[in-house]
Amino acid sequence: MRGRFDNLRRIERLDPARDYEEIHRLTLFHDFPWDMRLAFNLAFNRSFALPRVARLLVGTGEIVREPRKRADDTGIIMFEILRGGLETPRGRVALRRLNEAHRRFELDNGDSTYVLAALVVIPMRFLRRYGWRAPSPHEREAAAVYYREVGRRMGVRDIPSGYAALAEFFDAYEREHLVHTPEAERIERVTRDLLRGRIPGPLRGAADALIGALYDEPLRTAYAVPRPPLWARAGVHLALRARAVVLRCSRPRREPLFADGIKAKSYPQGYDLESVGTR
């Protein structure tokens, strides 16, 4: 019988500088599938608050018209890159689709670096606080190397090397650039429905307060989201901590995330990776 910490022991035998894809797959697809998916949602959501990013997204209108499809396209492409591997044929197709989606726009290099840093820092901090175990140094470094390699293939320059440097960049960039704009506020109202869908049905009536509790104060300020009541903040924290305790004592999952393929509401009959993201 597989043990709860078998994947961690396997991760610790690997080299993050060389085996970063394998380590990150074990973290995402095996040990923390729910946590990492929620944390990625929060990371992308946070990047939408950057003024230049918010203006671009509102200007194209895609996220306002089709928030579900844009989220599904992003999720499919990012998960396909990791599931297939950066140097596999399918991974290269997913990377090409990612680059084609961004090539239409003139993106600021600092903003692009921040988005990559968010995909590393926010999930690792979420796991440290709410995971059934804390992420290991190997997992943090593997995530940093992996997204640095993704960014390099996207043409992003001067990406900090290593988790500590990425986290330092993330915090400094946010202090300077994460401010309120009307465009960011509009995006948050549109994309809030996607986060509502991750809240259990009996709690949907309190969804806005619970979503606000998932945001920290800088993000609430940028999005003009009111501070949620104490019961919501305490309830979210205690529920996630209780879930971590239960999972720590539970058997590990038998099948990895997406073992039978990635399913998305925008593609009920499945998707052709070559056409994901096209409009």
What is the residue-level pLDDT of the chain in tens, covering all 279 positions?
A: 468 999 999 999 999 999 999 999 999 999 999 999 999 989 999 999 999 999 998 888 878 788 888 888 999 999 999 998 999 999 999 999 999 888 877 889 999 999 999 999 999 999 999 999 999 999 999 999 999 999 999 999 999 999 999 999 999 999 999 999 999 999 998 888 777 877 777 887 888 999 999 999 999 999 999 999 999 999 999 999 999 999 999 988 888 887 777 888 888 888 888 888 765
- Dihedrals phi, psi of 187, to nearest 5 degrees: -65, -40
Quick check: is 102 in a domain? Answer: yes
- Whether residue 112 contacts residue 47, with contact meaning beta carbons closer than 8 Å, is answered with no
pLDDT number for residue 3: 86
φ/ψ of residue 86, rounded to 5 = -60, -30
Which residues span the domain enclosing 224?
A: 6-259
**Domain for residue 269, yes or no?**
no
Predicted local confidence at residue 197, as pLDDT: 73
- How far lies 268's CA from each of 257, 261, 262, 264, 272, in Å? 18, 12, 11, 7, 12
State residue 279's pLDDT score: 56
- The reply to whether 272 falls in a domain is no
**Residue 270 covered by a domain:** no
Structural domain includes residue 208: yes
* Cα distances (Å, whole numbers) of residue 148 to 17, 30, 233: 11, 22, 33
Asked if residue 181 belongs to a domain, the reply is yes
Domains identified in the chain, total number: 1
Domain annotation covers residue 206: yes
Q: How far apart are CA 244 and CA 176, in angstroms?
A: 34
Q: Is residue 64 part of a domain?
A: yes
Is the C-alpha dihedral spanning 199, 202, 206, 209 positive or negative? negative
